[in-house]
A and B are shown apart, each in its own frame.
Chain A
Amino acid sequence: MSITASGLYGLTLEKQFIDTIGLSLESETAVKVLMVLDALTPNFDTHDFRADVTANEVSGTGYSAGGNTLTTTEITLSSGVLTYDGADVAWPTSTISNAMAAVGYFARGGADTADELMFLSDFVTQASSSGGTFTIQWAAAGIFTVDYTP
């Protein structure tokens, strides 16, 4: 079992197309980012709620289960490409071991069985912090893109 690729969660994408999510990716409160261990085997076709990843969520000093809110989120359109992005996410004064990926999801404030998974960003190599700041710096090109004029 391991994380071998990044991706968008198809079932949530479907819900957004058919308008049954009721939450915006540009929300300043509803999108959160948590981190998972390499023990997770993501299934982008069948995994749909945070409950599918919580067993493999990282833990440690300075890190709360469920992760941090993604802020200053934005969707831009340019040259046939939709880009989703937000501020880099950080856990100051944290001790976190072997984080392997970031998972973005819609946080509804209750059980993890109700929070729809949106994306998983593979770090490729495990990352840790020891009493310092753990920062996820999203790629210069954004968190994810959709080329709608291929």
Chain B
Amino acid sequence: MSRADELRARYEAEMAVLELEDQLLAAKEDGDVSRDLKLELREARRVFREQRAGDAKASPDTIETTAAVEQPGGGN
């Protein structure tokens, strides 16, 4: 990928995030946020951040937690 193509891809990825963020804010104002819109924004952010990796001052990892469900014990 040429430098120009790389910059174009980064610009398009950022624009996709910004447009979806605007849609999310509008949907929140209307009180009607769809699951699909949130998933679309989640994916757009993932793409954008992968492209920008290393650009920011701080890039913390995701805090990953597991909601373990213990096996119930047997009774008599």
Q: Interface residues, chain A, CB within 8 Å of chain B?
A: 6-8, 26, 28, 71-72, 74-78, 83, 85, 87-88, 99, 101-102, 119, 121-124, 127-129, 133-148, 150
Query: Number of contact residues on B: which range applies?
Result: 20 to 34
B62 contact set on A, CB distance < 8 A: 138-139, 141-145
Minimal beta-carbon separation of A131 from chain B (angstroms): 13
Determine if B66 and A140 form an interchain contact, defined as CB atoms under 8 angstroms apart.
Answer: no
A-B contact pairs, 14 of them (CB 8 A): A74-B24, A74-B33, A76-B38, A78-B39, A85-B42, A85-B45, A99-B57, A119-B63, A127-B57, A135-B55, A139-B60, A144-B64, A145-B65, A147-B67
CA distance A127 to B57 in the complex (A): 6
B67 contact set on A, CB distance < 8 A: 146-148, 150
**Which of A138, A144, A146 has the most C-beta atoms of chain B within 10 angstroms of its own C-beta?**
A138
A141 contact set on B, CB distance < 8 A: 46, 62
Minimal beta-carbon separation of B60 from chain A (angstroms): 4
Determine if B56 and A137 form an interchain contact, defined as CB atoms under 8 angstroms apart.
Answer: yes
